[in-house]
Amino acid sequence: MCGRFTLTRQNRRDLAQLLGVAEDDLRDYRPRYNIAPTDQHFIVTSKYERRTARAATWGLVNSWATDNSRASQCINARGETLEKRRAFREAFLKRRCVVPADGFYEWRGPKTQREPVWIHPADGGILLFAGLYES
């Protein structure tokens, strides 16, 4: 998974409709071109077929953590170890979400001259990353 992603949609109403959430859920939305670990973004959750967009910070801080210092290290989980790793187990079982994006960056080239490559749907569509969250 990526370390940086984007959500560049200009029209909040269209984005809300596309995600199936209330436009008011996105009242603080603004296009973002470089969302990094520990940045504010939002997630979409669902309860009884009702979707809600809610503010979130990228990086899982477990309920048992004493502070949020490891949040930037806990940004990606492997599907094959989700149920085994203490950091992700409970959230995987009880708190799943999607993270809206329209592209992400991967890096290419030698370590001293890395260049970002923006990977995105050719049709301008939305990506929904699988996510976990803690309250």
Catalytic residue among 74, 97, 106, 115: 106
Tell me whether residue 134 is one of the annotated catalytic residues. no
Which of 23, 12, 33 lies closest to 53 in space, CA to CA?
23
Tokens at 91, concatenated: 């959230």
H helix or E strand, kind and range, residue 33: strand 32-35
Query: Is 83:65 a contact under the CB 8 Å cutoff?
Result: no
Tell me whether residue 2 is one of the annotated catalytic residues. yes
Catalytic residue among 2, 23, 90, 134: 2
- The CA distance from 70 to 82, in Å, is 18
The catalytic residue positions are 2, 106
